[in-house]
């Protein structure tokens, strides 16, 4: 996979394979190319060279809504645009947006009702069912992260991309979130590709870790292998990854 911006190589020869049902962490310092890789997978950015394959199918350059309907969801990260809504409205809108169909008068009510039901089910999965009528603006950050997950889950993804799901949380909240994400996604059989700077969380959650540095793969392996890899440890595990 190659992607350059105005001659700057954001991704150079990056090859990444995520096993079905696994949790795969993408780590590396800021500017390593993690977001660009996410954007390439979800069709927001077209690679200069290389292919994105999903279940054996070449989806390179597919528009984002089509990628979503194939079963790849990305967390909204901060339900910011939705602060004026209730929690249930935000998740319902995420569902309707994912369906992406024009609402046909007469059929739209039934479709809306179904979207609400799916939104309620997603909220129950993340434990926010008691907050359905609360304004998004009133949720504390930890619950907002759960809402992000619900908004992604409502699309019933096979592959979920989470960009720094623990950012901004306290240490105690991060631990809770790691357990929560782990249990929920394993239960749902969802494949996870995530970025995260919290080393402890990455090692706890990931089955496999890819370390990116300046748009290249510096190392890849199991948490144990990455922990033992001196070069990586010195470069990244000393502080943030
Ligand atoms: P990370 O998510 O690991 O911090 P990014 O993928 O955001 O890394 O960025 C990789 C490099 O590509 C950075 O140097 C960034 O400035 C550059 N980059 C990313 N997107 C763009 C863009 N749309 N235009 C120009 N440069 C970009």
pLDDT of residue 177: 92
Give this complex's ipTM.
0.94
Compute the CA torsion angle 175, 177, 179, 184 (nearest 10 deg). Answer: 180
Tens of pLDDT, residue by residue, the chain (241 residues): 899 998 888 999 899 999 999 999 999 988 999 999 999 999 999 999 999 999 999 999 999 889 999 999 988 666 566 788 999 999 999 998 888 765 556 667 888 899 999 999 999 999 999 999 999 999 998 899 999 999 999 999 999 999 999 999 999 999 999 999 999 999 999 999 999 999 889 999 999 999 999 999 999 999 999 988 766 666 665 555 4
This prediction has a pTM of 0.90
Closest C-alpha to ligand 1, atom 19: 36
Q: Domain 3-71+157-237: which topology?
A: Rossmann fold (3.40.50)
Task: State the distance from the centre of ligand 1 to the C-alpha of 54, rounded, in angstroms.
Answer: 24
Q: Which atom of ligand 1 is nearest to the CA of 45?
A: 23
Task: Give me the pLDDT at residue 18, please.
Answer: 97
> Ligand 1: distance of its center to the CA of 31 in Å?
6
Q: Which residues line ligand 1 (CB under 6 A)?
A: 5, 10, 28, 30-36
Supply the residue whose CA is at minimum distance from atom 14 of ligand 1: 31
Residue with the nearest Cα to atom 16 of ligand 1? 31
- Which of 34, 36, 46 is the best mutation target for the ligand 1 pocket, counting ligand atoms within 8 Å of the beta carbon and taking the most? 36
Ligand 1 centroid to Cα of residue 10, in Å, is: 6
Q: How far is the CA of 32 from the centre of ligand 1 (A)?
A: 8
Nearest CA to ligand 1 atom 17: 10
Distance 62 CA to ligand 1 centre (A): 21
Residues of the chain with CATH 3.40.50.300: 3-71+157-237
Q: What residue owns the CA closest to ligand 1's atom 27? A: 5
Given this model, what pLDDT does residue 241 score?
A: 47
Distances from the Cα of 72 to the Cα of 63, 127, 217, angstroms = 12, 23, 23
Q: Whose CA is nearest to atom 5 of ligand 1?
A: 33
């Amino acid at each position: 996979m190659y992607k350059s911006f105005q001659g700057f190589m954001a991704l150079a020869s990056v090859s990444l394979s995520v096993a079905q049902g696994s949790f795969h962490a993408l780590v590396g310092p800021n500017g390593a190319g993690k977001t660009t890789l996410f954007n390439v997978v979800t069709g927001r950015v077209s690679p200069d060279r290389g292919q994105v394959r999903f279940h054996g199918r070449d989806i390179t350059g597919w528009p984002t809504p089509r990628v979503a309907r194939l079963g790849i969801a990305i967390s909204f990260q901060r339900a910011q645009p939705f602060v004026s809504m209730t929690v249930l409205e935000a998740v319902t809108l995420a569902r309707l947006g994912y369906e992406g169909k024009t609402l046909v008068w007469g059929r739209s009510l039934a479709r809306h009702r179904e979207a609400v039901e799916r939104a309620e089910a997603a909220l129950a999965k993340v434990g926010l069912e008691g907050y359905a009528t609360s304004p998004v603006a009133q949720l504390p950050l930890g619950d907002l992260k759960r809402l992000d997950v619900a908004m992604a889950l409502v699309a019933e993804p096979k592959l979920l991309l989470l960009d720094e799901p623990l950012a901004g949380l306290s240490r105690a909240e991060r631990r809770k979130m790691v357990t929560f994400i782990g249990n929920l996604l394993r239960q749902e059989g969802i494949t996870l590709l995530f970025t995260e700077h919290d080393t402890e969380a990455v090692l706890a959650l990931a089955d496999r870790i890819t370390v990116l540095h300046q748009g290249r793969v510096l190392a890849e392996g199991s948490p144990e292998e990455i922990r033992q890899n001196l070069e990586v440890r010195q470069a990244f595990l000393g502080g943030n990854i």
